[in-house]
Structure formats: C-alpha cells, structure tokens
Amino acid sequence: MARVLLQKIRKKYTNGFEAVHGIDLEVADGEFMVLVGPSGCAKSTTLRMVAGLEDISSGDLLIGERRVNDLSPSDRNIAMVFQDYALYPHMSVYENMAYGLRIRKYKREEIDRRVKKAAGILGLEEQLERKPKALSGGQRQRVAVGRAIVREPDVFLFDEPLSNLDAKLRVHMRAEIIRIQKALGTTMIYVTHDQVEAMTMGDRICVLNSGRIMQVAAPLELYDFPANRFVATFIGSPAMNIIRGQLKKDGNNLAFMNQTMKLTVPPGKSGFLESYNGKEIDLGLRPEHISIDMSGKAAADVVTGEVGIIELMGNEKIIHAVAGDTIICRTDPHCRAEKGRPAGMVFNMDKAHFFDPESGMNLTLG
Amino acid sequence: MQGNRRGIWKLILLYLSLGMVSLIILYPILLMLRISLISPEEFFRPDKALLIGPGWTLEHWKGVFGSGLLWPALYKSLYIATVTTVMAVLLAAPAAYVISRTGRRWKYILIMSLFISRMFPEVGIALPVSVRFLSWNLVDTYLGIVLAHLIKVLPYVAWILVGTFEAIPRSLEEASFVDGAGKLATLRRIVFPVSMPGIAVAAMLVWLESWNEFTYALYLTVSENTLPLQTYYYLNRGGIFNSAAYATIITVPVIVMTFILQRHLKAGMLAGGVK
Ligand SMILES: Nc1ncnc2c1ncn2[C@@H]1O[C@H](COP(=O)(O)OP(=O)(O)O)[C@@H](O)[C@H]1O
Ligand SMILES: [Mg+2]
C-alpha cells in the first residue's frame, strides 16, 4: 500500500502528439481515485504511465517514496485490470490468478492460499479449473480482478473494467469492486468515461479533459462546486444548463439577462461578479434547480418557455423547454406541463453558477 | 411439413454437391492408387476400364518395397522436411514477432521484402543457388537442400507468423509485464503458447512444402534421391507403376497433415482471453 504522486507528468507520443500536458495529482494511501473524462482525454495514457507501460516524457512519478519513472512495470508492484480483461486464454482461471505469483517465485502453498482466498471473495471457487472461454463476461471480469488482488500490490490500476458488461452486472460489479477495495485498503486508480461510475465509486474524482486536469474533488463537492464549465456539464445527468447572457446593474443588484430572460443575481454571489458588470457571462443551473410553475403566481426569476420533449422517468420528469436556448428542468413526475404549451420555469438563483465565457472558470466559487 | 420437405431437399442437394466435389478431388488420387495396383497387361489393353476393372496386382508395390531404393529416399525426405520445419520456425518466429510489433509502414515494407526471393521462378533461381552451393560443398548434402528449402519457405512462415502474433492483443503481454514477467518470460509463457495453433499451421505447411519440393532437390542432388525425385526417376524410365506407388506414398502424409491442419485452422486460439 502506498500513495501515488504525479508531478508535472507530461506525455508526448512518438508521433509528436502531446497527450498529457504536465499534470499534478496526489492519490493518498488507500484512496479510491477515479480518473474520469470523455473518450480520448488521456485517461488510459495517464494510467499506463503509472503502470510503466508507457514512457513518461517528463515529470516525476512516485509510488510510496520511490521515484519509479525508470522502473519497468514488473518492478513497480502494481496490478492492473484491462478493459478487455486480457486473460491468458491458454490458462485456467486458477493459473491465470497464480501466474503473477509463480513469476515472483512464491511458495506453492502461499499461491494456493491466495488464489483460493481471492476465488472465495469473488465467488469463483467453482470456476477455478475452467478456461476463460468457458466463462461468462461477468466471470471473466472477476478473474481479471482476482488476478490483481492475489498479488496484494501497492496500487490497483483499473482501466474501464466494467465497460464490456451489461447494465445490471455493471451496477453489481461496481459495488463489489468498492467493497473489495475498502476491505483490502489498497490504493486504487480507477479509469472510467462514465460519470455515474465515477460519482458512485470514487473517494475523490479527477476530471480530465484533453490531457489536463479540470478538477480533483470528492464527488459531492465536484457536483456542487464545479471548478469550471467543463466539470459542470460533464458531471450530472441531464447536464447542467448553460445559458449565455450579460450582467447588468439593476438598482442595487446585478441582473443576468438576455433576449428571453432577466434573472436576479443573489447578493451572496454578486461580490465575485462586480467586474463582469456589462460583460458577457455564462449562467449555469442544474435541471433540478429549475422548477415548473403552472399557476403563473411565481413572482421573481421566472422564464417562460415552450415545452418540447417530456421524458417521464417514473420518479421524475425531464422537461425540455425552449426559451431562446433549450432549458432542461427536472421536476416531479406529476407536473402537468404539456408539450407545445408555454410553461413558467422558476430559476433557483441561489444554486446558480457563473462562468467566464472565455476561460470557463467558475466565478462564484470564491 | 412443407418446411420439413424443403429441408430434406436442401440436404440432398448439399450432399450431392459435396459428393461431386469430393469425386473431382478424389478421382486423380484413386487413379494414382489404381495405377499402382494395375497389371501391365490390363493397363496397356486399349479398351480397359481404368478405375473399376479387372487385373489387380501387388507386384509394383512389392518391387518398390523390395528395391532398396524406397527407404533411403523416404528417410531423406522425412529428415529434410522435418529439419527444414524446425529451422524455419526457429528462424522465422523471432523475426515475425519483431515485425508484428513494429509500426504499420515498416511492417508492410518488411513483409514485402521477405517475398522478393519468391519473385523469381524457381527454375531460374535454383541454378545460381546450386552453383553457389557447389563452391560451398553443399551440393548433394542434406544441409544443402534444407537451406534451399528455407529460401523457399521462410517468407511464407514469417508471413503466417506475423499474422498470428498480430492477432495477440498487446494487453495480453502487458498483463504479463505487470504480473512481473520480463520480455523473454512473456514470450515463452504467453506469446508462444497462445500462438501455438498458428505456429502449428505454419509448421505443417512448411513440412508439406518441403516434403513435396522438387526443383531445388533436383538441382542439388547427385546420388541420393528424395521421394519426389524418386517418383520422377521411375517416370523418366517409363516406370509408370512404380511411380504411381511412390506418388501414393508421398500423398499419404499430405492427406493426414491436411486433416490435422483444417482442425487447427478453425479452432479460435484467443477465445475468451479478451472480452
Ligand atoms: N500510441 C499512441 N500514439 C499517438 N497518440 C496516441 C497513442 N495512444 C493514444 N494516443 C492519443 O492520445 C489521446 C489519449 O488517448 P487515451 O489515453 O487512450 O484516451 P482515453 O483513455 O481517455 O480514451 C488520444 O487522442 C489518442 O488518440
Ligand atoms: Mg482508454
């Protein structure tokens, strides 16, 4: 067990493409760190640099107190689970799990003990003699995890391990991986493109975009206080509404306005925004912070739009309404908004975020 | 009912066409067998019924087995084919592995260059080769023919093995590295075992190629014939019947190998390993 420290890690591929632009990240000992971001943002590249499967172009990588830049994967004492599982097809489940220990010349009894224990944890006792091809997708996934845990490494590196499973199994394996990681207390770096997976699994989440870290924070903090527009829209589903407009002085308060709406900026936030008076700005508000008012009685911060698509999810209704931009609201399933009819949307401006339109920085974090 | 009858017709048609194809393929082989067993009188009778007719004899086979020429030729052919196979795989496997792991453009150039030696007709290239071999004292030696056969088979073996190794996902090797194995251990314990079906296919093709090979053997042999040469030797002297017996002996391992080959070809070697 050990912490992992990335210092100014940069990756330039041989074709000249710079995939990772000098990132700093500390993963604490025993922490479950999720790397999340859209496809191609260099999650795998980053993870593979930690594993030693990809050279580090510059910067320092520390596992524990050791600088491991120049160590081969076999000397880093890490274990990895690959997206395609990468099980050895000619070996049985038992041999697959035992391989790493045999290579490291563990005693036969010790190997047997660890493999049996891992098989017990993962419910693979019955499959030990089978070849990978005789297993279901979920079982293969477990073997891949088993191969990692028998090693009792310093760090687990998982690269989108659940992306080939069906939805139900994915939810189940999610819980199982969390349970195993917590039980073993092994430092984990877990890569996924799925923000739901990230939110449910990570102690902390590192959001990546185009080879840069957008924010590192605990799930709820990431959700409530996104550092920038990218994180704001990437985390959460449906995504946060982003509306372009201008800030203007309106009496004592600042107001956000464009062709279709005029909203009051709460006093608590206006302090940060004085310098944007008269300038363009992006307003961000999550769908659940916009409610539908059919009575017409709501006084302030109401925007009238025409209702478009309505998605009934059972426990909630997602309403797409057009007021200049399309605005998405998440309401109670009994909301009586009708397609094609106007509806009043009440913006809860206390929950609003304001982003610099150029840099995308969240201006209201303080 | 209707569907059932259609199914039966389909089956009958399938077997009919299969039967015809096998007949076309089998006919020359059966004919060869028959000639090796026919009595000369019957053979030279103008209105003979070739495949199914009277006049069977074991004389030619007795002659072939008794002549003392079969066993040395058989031994030589077996020896050369086997040694060629082992050497071809040993030489081509490491090269093919490296080629399979190089960049796409280089890979293409390397594979194309492998086949340059195959661009010239064998009868053309066999003469300069044998002249060269003469000055190296390789003519009329086993080693000489093995080397000549390697010229012929190495490109094919390398090509098949490049394909085989390419089909092995990188992640399999990477998993092994992470598990603590070095490059060599990974080759020995993961890459080669997983490629075994491909290697076996390549080996069998080489073996067959060398076993059948005629041109280089002809140029490089003075005293001891290989089996194909021995077949030709009889034919050259009008010994049709003995030649047919030899041809049959050459064919048997080919048929056996081909059966084994087609089993290997359809077995999915990577099944279950990834995804
Ligand atoms: N071997 C390589 N050579 C050049 N570019 C690469 C290589 N591998 C990945 N890339 C590029 O680096 C970027 C990040 O890739 P990757 O780390 O696989 O992304 P992710 O795992 O987040 O989807 C992508 O734009 C990809 O095209
Ligand atoms: Mg990836």
Nearest CA in chain A to B172: A86
For residue A233, the model assigns a pLDDT of 95
pLDDT, tens digit (0-9, with 9 covering 90-100), for B10-58: 899 999 999 999 888 888 888 888 888 888 888 888 877 777 778 888 8
Pocket of ligand 1 contains residue A13 by CB under 6 Å: yes
- Chain B stretch 138-197, residues whose beta carbon is closer than 8 A to a beta carbon of chain A: 169, 171-172, 174-182, 185, 189-190, 193-194, 196
As a whole number of angstroms, the distance between CA B81 and CA B83 comes to 6
Domains of chain A, by residue range, sit at 4-234, 241-365
For residues B112 and B110, give the distance between their C-alpha atoms in angstroms, rounded to a whole number.
5
CA–CA dist B13, B19 (Å, integer): 10
Q: What is the CA A281 to chain-centroid distance, rounded? A: 26
Q: Give CA–CA dist B90/B32, Å, rounded.
A: 36
- B73 class by beta-carbon count within 10 Å (0-12 exposed, 13-18 middle, 19+ buried): buried
Structure tokens, B190: 């993961």
Residues A315 and A208: their CA atoms lie apart, in Å, by: 31
Chain B residues closer than 8 Å to A83 by CB: 171
Any idea which residue has 């009919």 for tokens?
B16
pLDDT of residue B267 exceeding 60, the answer is no
Q: What is the pTM of this model?
A: 0.83
Range of the domain at B52: 2-57
Q: Do B128 and B23 belong together in one domain?
A: no
pLDDT in tens, B82-109: 999 999 999 999 889 988 888 777 887 8
pLDDT at B26: 86
> What DSSP element (H or E) covers A347?
strand A342-347
Same domain for B192 and B85:
yes
Contact residues, chain A, for B273 at CB < 8 Å: 85-89, 132-133
Sheet holding A204-209, edge to edge: A78-81, A155-159, A187-192, A32-36, A204-209, A212-217
Task: Cite the DSSP H helix spans in chain B.
Answer: 2-37, 40-44, 59-66, 70-100, 104-114, 122-135, 142-166, 170-178, 183-186, 192-212, 215-220, 227-236, 240-266
- Pairing type for strands A155-159 and A187-192 reads parallel
Please give the tally of structural domains in chain B. Answer: 2
Whether residues A89 and B272 touch (CB distance < 8 A) is answered with: yes
Determine contact, residues A241/A263, Cβ cutoff 8 Å: no
Together in a domain, B212 and B110: yes
pLDDT tens figures, A77-92: 999 999 999 999 999 9
Close Cβ partners of A73 (under 8 Å, ≥ 6 residues apart):
A51, A52, A53, B174, B177, B178
For ligand 1, atom 26, name the residue with the nearest CA: A40
Number of residues written out for chain A: 366
Task: Look at the block and give the residue holding tokens 């989108």.
Answer: A160
Say whether pLDDT at B122 is over 70. Answer: yes
In a domain, residue B226? The reply is yes
At residue A335, the pLDDT reads 87
Mean of pLDDT values over B198-203: 88
User: Which amino acid, one-letter code, is at A171?
Assistant: V
The whole-number pLDDT of residue A140 equals 94
What pLDDT is attached to residue B2?
57
Q: Which residue of A has its CA nearest to B191?
A: A88
Minimal-distance CA residue to ligand 1 atom 14: A42
Residue B111 scores a pLDDT above 90: no
Cα separation, A309 vs A324, whole angstroms? 15
B26 and B80 together in one domain: no
DSSP B21: H
Q: Kindly state whether residues B52 and B83 are assigned to the same domain.
A: no
Give mean pLDDT, residues B143-160.
91
A140 CB near ligand 1 (under 6 Å)? no
Structure tokens at B224: 């001891």
0.90 surpassed by complex ipTM: no
The tokens describing B43, both together, are: 């053979």
Tens-place pLDDT, residues A137-156: 899 999 999 999 999 999 99
| Of the residues B36, B57, B78, the one at which a domain ends | B57
B33 Cβ neighbours under 8 A, 6+ residues apart: B244, B248
CA distance A207 to A230: 9
pLDDT less than 70: residues of chain A: 1, 366
Contact A109, A98 (CB under 8 A): no
Instruction: Give the model confidence (pLDDT) of B153-199 as tens digits.
Output: 998 898 889 989 998 999 999 999 999 999 999 999 999 999 988 89
Is residue B129's pLDDT more than 70?
Answer: yes
The top-level CATH class assigned to A241-365 is mainly beta
Q: How high is the pLDDT of residue B265? A: 65
Q: What is the pLDDT at residue A96?
A: 96
Out of A78, A89, A151, whose CB is closest to B194?
A: A89
Give the residue from B221, B257, B222, B253 showing the smallest Cα distance to B74: B253
- A residues 103-132 lying closer than 8 A (beta carbon) to B: 103-104, 131-132
Looking at the structure, do residues B152 and B83 belong to the same domain, yes or no?
yes
Nearest CA to ligand 1 atom 24: A40
**For residue B197, is it within any domain?**
yes
Instruction: Kindly state whether residues B127 and B25 are assigned to the same domain.
Output: no
**Domain A4-234 falls under CATH 3.90.440.10:** no
Which residues of chain B lie closer than 8 angstroms to A134, CB-CB? 272
pLDDT > 80? residue B266: no
Structure confidence at residue B270 (pLDDT) = 57
Say if residue B47 is in the same domain as residue B67. Answer: no
Q: What is the DSSP letter of B11?
A: H
CB nearest to A79's CB, from B178, B190, B196: B178
Average pLDDT, chain A: 93
Inter-chain contact A86–B181, Cβ cutoff 8 Å? no
pLDDT of residue B273: 62
User: In angstroms, what is the span from residue A315 Cα to ligand 2's centroid?
Assistant: 33
Neighbours of B90 (CB within 10 A): 9
Cβ of A47 below 6 Å from ligand 1: no
> What is the rounded distance in angstroms from the CA atom of residue A135 to the CA atom of residue A256?
58
CB contacts, 8 Å: A88 with chain B: 172, 175-176, 190, 194, 273
- What is the C-alpha to C-alpha distance for residues A159 and B30, in angstroms, rounded to an integer? 59
One-letter-per-residue 3-state SS of B193-259: HHHHHHHHHHHHHHHHHHHHCCHHHHHHCCCCCCHHHHHHHHHHCCCHHHHHHHHHHHHHHHHHHHH
The CATH number linked to B82 is 1.10.3720.10
Q: How far is the CA of A186 from the centre of ligand 1 (A)?
A: 27
B149 and B168: one domain? Answer: yes
Give residue-wise pLDDT tens across range B217-229.
989 888 888 989 8
